[in-house]
Amino acid sequence: QSALTQPASVSGSPGQSITISCTGTSSDVGGYNYVTWHQQHPGQAPKLLIYDVNNRPSGVSNRFSGSKSGNTASLTISGLQAEDEADYYCSSYTSSNTYVFGIGTKVTVL
Amino acid sequence: QVQLVQSGAEVTEPGASVKVSCKASGYTFSGYDIYWVRQAPGQGLEWMGGINVGNGNTGYSAKFRGRVTITRDTSASTAYMELTSLRSEDTAVYYCARQRYFDFWGQGTLVTVSS
C-alpha cells in the first residue's frame, strides 16, 4: 500500500486561507468516506483535526475544514495563524481493511 | 478524560524484539479499537496494525505482517505491540491511537535499534 500523495510544503500569510491536497486511489480515498486529517507539532503526538472527510471533533477550531472529490481529499485552513505552523497528515481506510497515511505536508506561516 | 500512556523508551540490538505497552484510562477500553503507528526520525506516520479490543481480532500492514503482533489485556486496560527481528530501520517513535480515526494518541515510545 503506497502512501497517499500530499504536497511537501504549503505556505501562507497570516489571515489567508490555504488548502492541502491528499490524493489516493479508488481503493482508499475514493472508495470510502473514512479520511482523517491530523496536525503534528515538533516533538508532539499527532492531533485529530477532521474525521470522516469533513467532521470536526469537539474543541477543534472551525477554521479547519475537510472535503473530498473523487480520489482527492482536501484540508482547508482559513484565517491562517502562527500556531497553525506544523506538519499535516491525511489518512484513509483501504480496501485491504488497513489504513494508510499521507506523506505529510509542512505548513509555513510567512 | 481519555488517556493512553505508553511504556518508556527502549534501546535494543539488531535481531532482538521489543514489546511496547499502551495503558488506557478514562473510557470503556473494550469499546474501541487500538491501532499502532510509527514515525521514523524526520519521517512521516506509518500505520502498522490494530486490534479490536472487544474480540481480540487483529489486522496488520503487509509491510509488518509476520514481524508484528498486537495483543490486549482487557483486565489491565492495556494493549501491546511486539516487533521482532529488529533492524536499524525500525528505529522510530511508536504510538498507540484509539479507534479508526485515531482520536486520542499515546505520548509515543522511542525505540532505538543499534549495535
| pLDDT of amino acid B71 | 98
Which residue in chain A is spatially nearest to B93 when comparing CA positions?
A: A45
- B68 near A CB under 8 A: no
**Contact criterion met (CB below 8 Å) for B38 and B48:** yes
Residue-level pLDDT, tens digit, chain B, 115 residues: 999 999 999 999 999 999 999 999 999 999 999 999 999 999 999 999 999 999 999 999 999 989 999 999 999 999 999 999 999 999 999 999 999 999 999 999 999 999 9
Which residue in chain B is spatially nearest to A48 when comparing CA positions?
A: B103
Residues of A in contact with B46 (CB under 8 A): 101
Residues of A in contact with B65 (CB under 8 A): none
* Average of per-residue pLDDT values in chain A: 97
DSSP bridge pairs for B68: B83
How many percent of chain A have pLDDT more than 70? 100
Which residue in chain A is spatially nearest to B110 when comparing CA positions?
A: A43
| pLDDT of amino acid A77 | 98
In this predicted structure, the answer to whether residue A1 has a pLDDT above a threshold of 80 is: no
How are beta strands A99-101 and A47-50 bridged, if at all? unpaired
Q: Which grid cell sits at A63?
A: 477554521
| pLDDT of amino acid B65 | 83
Q: How many helices (H) and strands (E) does chain A have?
A: 0, 9
| Distance from C-alpha of B8 to C-alpha of B108, rounded to nearest angstrom | 9
